[in-house]
Amino acid sequence: MTSPIRPDGGPVVVTGAAGFIGSHIVRILVRRGYEVRACVRDPGILANTAHLSAIGHEGPGSVSLYRCDMTVPGAYDEAFRGAQGVFHAAAEMGNLEGSTPQKVFDGGLLATRMLMDSVAAAGSIRRLVYTSSFAAVAHPADEGHLYTEASTADMNADRRRPEASWSLETVSRNREVAYAMTKLESERFVYAEADRLGLAAFGICPCHVIGPLLSASHQRPWSWQTRIGDMLEGYGHPRMYWNIVDVRDVAETQVLAAESDRNRNGERYNLVAPDESGLMFQEDLQALLQRLYPGCGIGGDFREGRRYRSPVSVMEKAITQLGLKPHSVEASVRDNADSLLAWGLVRTRPGEDNWQREGRDLGIASKWSPHLYPAIDPAMRAKLVAEGKA
């Protein structure tokens, strides 16, 4: 087994460092005393990167910024040279302008293959932690099915609907399949390559990640922390079953995994609700926010209807094996909301019933879904454009 990383063992690298999860990984590493190389698309866009420099100034560790485009071969070669560990949080989510389902898939598996080429070229990496997704875990199952780290998204493939079949042909037009496939296949590739190269790699599979924003740039469309903001502003969304995990716990688990001497290459960790309190319908989350911010119009379900209790999974391995002490769900929700309010990114509405749903249009616009989702079936997009709906 390769030895764990340690603060005095050399630099560590975080890809996607400016993102919501990546920034929290950087923060924990710096607080532990690591020399962090933070990979970002463009260090010159200070609105996206200044918070990383500020984290570095807090110490006792340090932060240096590296310009890296994960779609370019060799982009990570310089950052990885001489490093002892890599935290790969960069990903193509599908929420950027011009994205397609195919780009989501390529931005996962193909980009990860190029990343592992840079790992091999460096020759110094001992530990690699890959930010996968609960999408790589969940598979077609009965409502209420309990998912564990042994669950994979391609189990029960024969139960998938034809339009969501598990195939490369479906990838070109279905973002959900593209994302699940690329995350699971990337995990398997990383573990195989790590074994070949003699290092240890681990997968982190988060579900609905919320918590404090470290930068205003973390309020991004189709991110769960932003959907919390919509609820604060009184926007009612379609029904949803939440499985809440704190971004700080997602980040800390990555560092604990890289520092542990109890795990082996190929182990994965479901970063999900710390207990049953984190499994809730949207109306339950609405009630929690109403208690935290009394007298405000907090959004809930857009309309009434059938609710589904899925995905069901409760955190265990990160706690029992790595010793993580997770944040309470209330603290996660509160700190997410407080940070949005502190940044001035949302405004609450007076009056507990003053929120927008079916039959009560208050003219509130969603910041979570402000426009058509970028990574949709190109044929469907063309049809919507032709009909004047996009």
What DSSP state is assigned to residue 165? -
Looking at every residue in the chain, the average pLDDT score rounds to: 95
Query: How many CA atoms does the CB half-sphere of 53 hold within 13 Å?
Result: 10
At 70-126, the pLDDT tens digits run: 989 999 999 999 999 999 999 988 777 778 889 899 888 999 999 999 999 999 999
Could you tell me where the beta strands, DSSP code E, fall in the chain? 12-15, 35-40, 62-67, 85-88, 127-131, 200-206, 208-210, 241-246, 268-271, 279-281
CB neighbourhood size of 47 (10 A)? 10
Cis amide leading into 60 (omega within 30): yes
- What average pLDDT score do residues 49-67 get? 98
**More confident: 121 or 385:** 121
Which of 17-21, 46-50, 200-204, 377-381 is the least confident region? Answer: 377-381
At 134-174, the pLDDT tens digits run: 999 999 999 999 999 999 999 998 888 888 889 989 998 99
What is the amino acid identity at position 248? R
At 186-201, the pLDDT tens digits run: 999 999 999 999 999 9
Element spanning 386, H or E: helix 378-386
Residue count of the chain, please give it. 390
Of 372, 362, 359, the residue nearest 233 (C-alpha):
362
**Strand 127-131, strand 200-206: pairing:** parallel
Whether 274 shows a pLDDT value over 70: the answer reads: yes
1 in helix, strand or coil? coil
At 322-342, the pLDDT tens digits run: 999 999 999 999 999 999 999
Note the pTM of the prediction, 2 decimals.
0.96
Q: How many H helices and E strands in the chain?
A: 12, 10
Instruction: Give CATH for domain 12-218+244-276+312-327.
Output: 3.40.50.720
Domains of the chain, by residue range, sit at: 12-218+244-276+312-327
